[in-house]
């Protein structure tokens, strides 16, 4: 998916989604429509400003993208090299 949207502007990505074009080929592609907010029926519009608190809340509620064991092994390697 990252390769399919690399170098594209947010408007181009939204356009791809609104046309129903998959971002990247997948074995079982599923449509991923953008959510519509109560105050906006236009795709790609945000309902207000995104604050630092919003970002921190999103980061805290997002599961890690790596396994905990992988992170521990990395930390051990970094400490062994004296970079901590």
**Calpha distance 44→34 (Å, rounded):** 7
Q: Which residue has the tokens 């207000």?
A: 48
Using CA atoms, how far apart are residues 65 and 59, in angstroms rounded to an integer? 11
Dist. CA 4–CA 37, nearest whole Å: 26
Q: Each residue's pLDDT tens digit in the chain (84 positions)?
A: 567 777 888 888 888 777 776 555 555 555 666 555 555 445 566 667 888 888 888 888 888 888 889 989 999 999 999 865
């Amino acid at each position: 998916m990252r390769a399919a949207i690399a170098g594209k502007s947010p408007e181009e990505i939204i356009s791809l989604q609104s046309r129903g074009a998959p971002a990247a080929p997948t074995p079982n592609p599923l449509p991923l429509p953008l959510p519509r907010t109560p105050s906006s029926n236009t795709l790609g519009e945000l309902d207000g400003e995104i604050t630092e608190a919003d970002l921190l809340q999103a980061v805290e509620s997002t599961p890690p993208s790596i396994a905990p064991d992988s992170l521990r092994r990395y930390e051990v390697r970094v400490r062994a090299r004296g970079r901590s």
